[in-house]
Amino acid sequence: MNRPVIITCAITGSVPQKKDNPAVPITVNEQVESTHEAYEAGASIVHIHVRDDDGKPCSDVNKFELVISGIKKFCPDIIIQTSTGGRGRDANKRGSSLVLNPDMASLATGSVNFPHSVYENSPDLICDLAKTMLEKNIKPEIEIFDLSMIYNAYHLVKLGLIPEPVHMQFIFGIKNGLPAEKEILEIFIREAQRYLPKLTWTASGIGRHQIEMARLSLSLGGHIRTGLEDNIRLDRFNLAPSNAALVVQAANLCEDFGCSVANPREARNLLSMTVEK
Ligand code: MG
């Protein structure tokens, strides 16, 4: 049987703007429509950030609520993952979306340099976010930007703050962060699985590395993340016309590797998400 692969679509993020690619969904309606198209194309997880009326990243709970309810109307079974990421947001508001009880939320387990800033995740902030997710049965996606974050995630598992099985995402190709290299991904998978044998994982690449990390993920047993948050181009010469176009590209890659595209029900099973929300 073909291995089912989960495609996550990160539709908006904190960084890309309309001037970079007019297809980046910024308003609530654009985000709902873009998610619907990505879902139809095969995405089973949508990763959400929200923007204010000026297009800047924000933590507005009302915006999150509108996006989530709109998505649920058109994509009733898609897995909704909100971001607790840091760019352009106050640390004390980064968990704002968790009151809405999404299926999943991102959780970075350490700090790292981004191209123009420090992505700061203090031990207290990490513990607070993990505790809230645990209380609300929100599955964390552990965002791994550096090797030490794997060991800290395991530490939090031992403390009972992160439940097993754990899902990690390894992020490559950010300037000042990890280069997109197979050898590094292999070390990360090996180390994470040494401590967390039931681990599921996704490898993602930023910009032009998106597609090469998807290929590596498929060849090494992982899942895929795509979307305009990480990469605004379909290829070297063309902007991506939509999030759905990037999902189609990812789905075609799955086929090339003899994998099937997991539907949301299969994705929930793969991630051991048993609670219906
Ligand atoms: Mg994000």
- How many angstroms is it from 114 CA to the middle of ligand 1? 13
Look at residue 276 and tell me if it is in a domain.
no
Look at residue 21 and tell me if it is in a domain.
yes
What's the number of domains the chain is made of?
1
Residue 66: helix, strand or coil by DSSP?
helix
Q: pTM of the prediction?
A: 0.97
- How many angstroms is it from 202 CA to the middle of ligand 1? 14
- How many angstroms is it from 271 CA to the middle of ligand 1? 19
Q: What is the pLDDT of residue 237?
A: 96
Query: How is 214-247 classified by DSSP, letter by letter?
Result: HHHHHHHT-EEEESTTT--BSSSS-B-S-HHHHH
Residue 190: helix, strand or coil by DSSP?
helix
- How many angstroms is it from 12 CA to the middle of ligand 1? 8
Look at residue 177 and tell me if it is in a domain.
yes
Domain extent, residue 71, equals 4-270
User: 73 falls in which pLDDT band (50, 70, 90)?
Assistant: very high
- How many angstroms is it from 277 CA to the middle of ligand 1? 22
Instruction: Write out pLDDT tens, residues 209-224.
Output: 999 999 999 999 999 9
- How many angstroms is it from 197 CA to the middle of ligand 1? 26
Q: What is the pLDDT of residue 90?
A: 84
Look at residue 275 and tell me if it is in a domain.
no
Instruction: Write out pLDDT tens, residues 15-59.
Output: 999 999 999 999 999 999 999 999 999 999 999 999 999 999 999
Whether the per-residue pLDDT at 275 is higher than 80: the answer is no
**Domain harbouring 26, CATH code:** 3.20.20.70
Q: Which pair of tokens denotes residue 114?
A: 């981004």
- How many angstroms is it from 87 CA to the middle of ligand 1? 9
- Tell me if 174 sits within 8 A of 206, measured CB to CB: yes
Instruction: Write out pLDDT tens, residues 228-244.
Output: 999 999 999 999 999 99
Q: Which pair of tokens denotes residue 6?
A: 């989960």
Phi-psi region of 124 (alpha: psi -120 to 50; beta: other; left: phi over 0): alpha
Query: How is 123-150 classified by DSSP, letter by letter?
Result: HHHHHHHHHHHHHTTPEEEEEESSHHHH
- How many angstroms is it from 1 CA to the middle of ligand 1? 32
Instruction: Write out pLDDT tens, residues 158-187.
Output: 999 999 999 999 999 999 999 999 999 999
Whether the per-residue pLDDT at 277 is higher than 90: the answer is no
Could you give the dihedral angle defined by the CA atoms of residues 153, 78, 216 and 246, in that order, rounded to the nearest 10 degrees? -130
Look at residue 138 and tell me if it is in a domain.
yes
- Tell me if 135 sits within 8 A of 98, measured CB to CB: no
User: 200 falls in which pLDDT band (50, 70, 90)?
Assistant: very high
Q: What is the pLDDT of residue 241?
A: 98
Mean pLDDT of the chain: 96
Look at residue 277 and tell me if it is in a domain.
no
Q: What is the pLDDT of residue 139?
A: 98
Residue 200 Cα to chain centre, angstroms: 13
- Rounded Cα gap, residues 91 and 129, in angstroms: 11
- How many angstroms is it from 205 CA to the middle of ligand 1? 12
Look at residue 101 and tell me if it is in a domain.
yes
Look at residue 179 and tell me if it is in a domain.
yes
